[in-house]
Amino acid sequence: MSSAPTESVRLAPEQARAVWEARRSAGLTEKALAERLGLSLWEIERLEQGETDPSPYAEALEKHTGRPRASFRADGFAEPSPVALTAEPPFRDRPKVISHDERAGELLVLASIAALVLVRFFTEVVAVVPRAANFIDIPICAMLVSVALMRPPARGAGDWLSRWVPVLALGFLLLTVVGAVTNPSRVDIAPALVFVYGILSPLLVYGAVRRLWPAGRALAASRLLVALGIVQLVVVVAIDIPRFVSSNNPDLISGTFGTNAYQLVFFLLLFVSLLAGIYTYERQRAVARFIPLLIALSLATIVLAQFRALLLTTGLCLLLGAVILGGRRSRGLIAGGMAMLAFMSALAFGAAHLPILKLNQTLHQDPVSLASQRLNIAGQVEQLYTDQPQSTVTGTGPGTFSSRGWQTFALSDSTSDSNVVGSYALALTGGQPYHTDVSDRYVRPLLEHTASVAGSRAVNQPLTDYVAVAAEVGFGGLLILVAIYVGAFLTALRRTLSAVASPQPLGALTALLVTTTIAFFALLQMGVLENWLEVTRLTFVAWALLAICTREFDARAEAAGA
Q: Which residue has the higher pLDDT, 227 or 373?
A: 227
Q: Indicate whether 419 belongs to any domain.
A: no
Domain that holds residue 64: 13-85
Q: Could you give the CA distance from residue 367 to residue 285 in angstroms, rounded to a whole number?
A: 41
Give which of 4, 19, 30 is closest to 69, Cα–Cα.
Answer: 19
Is residue 501's pLDDT more than 50? yes
pLDDT value for 3: 40
Q: Could you give the CA distance from residue 268 to residue 542 in angstroms, rounded to a whole number?
A: 13
Q: Domain check: are 264 and 289 in the same one? A: yes
Q: Domain check: are 59 and 186 in the same one? A: no
pLDDT value for 361: 61
554: region left, alpha or beta (phi > 0 left; psi from -120 to 50 alpha)? alpha
Q: Indicate whether 545 belongs to any domain.
A: yes
Q: Domain check: are 80 and 211 in the same one? A: no
Query: Mean pLDDT across the stretch 89-116?
Result: 77
pLDDT band for position 259 (cuts 50, 70, 90): confident
Residue at which a domain ends, from 85, 111, 142 = 85
Q: Distance of CA 388 to CAs 233, 382, 391, 415, 438, Å?
A: 49, 10, 6, 34, 10
What SS3 state is found at 173? helix
Give which of 232, 227, 239 is closest to 125, Cα–Cα.
Answer: 239
In the chain, % of residues over pLDDT 90: 42
Q: Which residue has the higher pLDDT, 351 or 317?
A: 317
Residue at which a domain ends, from 85, 112, 131 = 85
pLDDT band for position 559 (cuts 50, 70, 90): low
Give which of 503, 522, 118 is closest to 312, Cα–Cα.
Answer: 522
pLDDT value for 82: 38
Residue at which a domain ends, from 85, 111, 139 = 85
pLDDT value for 9: 41
In the chain, % of residues over pLDDT 70: 79
Q: Indicate whether 468 belongs to any domain.
A: no
Q: Indicate whether 425 belongs to any domain.
A: no
491-502 core/surface letters (b: 16 or more CB in 10 A; e: else): bbbebbeebbee
Is residue 477's pLDDT more than 90? yes
Q: Domain check: are 168 and 74 in the same one? A: no
Burial class (CB in 10 A: 0-12, 13-18, 19+), 36: middle
Q: Domain check: are 35 and 125 in the same one? A: no
Q: Indicate whether 79 belongs to any domain.
A: yes
Is residue 525's pLDDT more than 60? yes
Q: Domain check: are 22 and 127 in the same one? A: no
Q: Domain check: are 219 and 263 in the same one? A: yes
Would you report the helix, strand and coil content of the chain in percent, each value rounded to 5?
70, 0, 25
Give which of 38, 78, 41 is closest to 57, Cα–Cα.
Answer: 38
Is residue 373's pLDDT more than 80? no
pLDDT in tens, 11-41: 455 676 788 778 877 878 777 787 888 877 6
Q: Which residues contact 548 (CB under 8 A, 6 or more apart)?
A: 109, 209, 213, 218, 221, 512
pLDDT in tens, 54-93: 888 888 888 888 888 777 776 544 444 333 333 334 434 4
Is residue 552's pLDDT more than 60? yes
Q: Domain check: are 43 and 20 in the same one? A: yes
Cα dihedral 63→65→69→70 (10° resolution): 170
pLDDT in tens, 392-437: 999 999 999 999 888 888 877 565 555 556 566 666 666 678 889 9
Is residue 43's pLDDT more than 80? no
Q: Domain check: are 218 and 126 in the same one? A: yes
Q: Domain check: are 213 and 126 in the same one? A: yes
Q: Indicate whether 381 belongs to any domain.
A: no
Give which of 404, 397, 385, 402 is closest to 450, Cα–Cα.
Answer: 402
Which of 68-77, 317-326, 327-336, 424-433 has the highest average model confidence (pLDDT)? 317-326
pLDDT value for 452: 55
Q: Domain check: are 197 and 57 in the same one? A: no
Q: Indicate whether 152 belongs to any domain.
A: yes
Q: Which residues contact 181 (CB under 8 A, 6 or more apart)?
A: none
Q: Which residue has the higher pLDDT, 350 or 85?
A: 350
Per the prediction, the chain carries an average pLDDT of 82
pLDDT band for position 159 (cuts 50, 70, 90): low
The answer to whether 301 and 253 are in contact (CB under 8 A) is yes
CATH of the domain at 39: 1.10.260.40
Q: Which residue has the higher pLDDT, 562 or 215?
A: 215
The number of distinct structural domains making up the chain is: 2
Query: Mean pLDDT across the stretch 99-128?
Result: 92
The answer to whether 351 and 455 are in contact (CB under 8 A) is no
pLDDT value for 327: 73
Give which of 23, 9, 4, 3 is closest to 72, Cα–Cα.
Answer: 23
Q: Domain check: are 26 and 133 in the same one? A: no
Is residue 95's pLDDT more than 80? no
Q: Indicate whether 464 belongs to any domain.
A: no
The answer to whether 487 and 165 are in contact (CB under 8 A) is yes
Query: Mean pLDDT across the stretch 287-301?
Result: 93
DSSP 8-state class, residue 310: G
Q: Could you give the CA distance from residue 481 to residue 403 in angstroms, rounded to a whole number?
A: 13
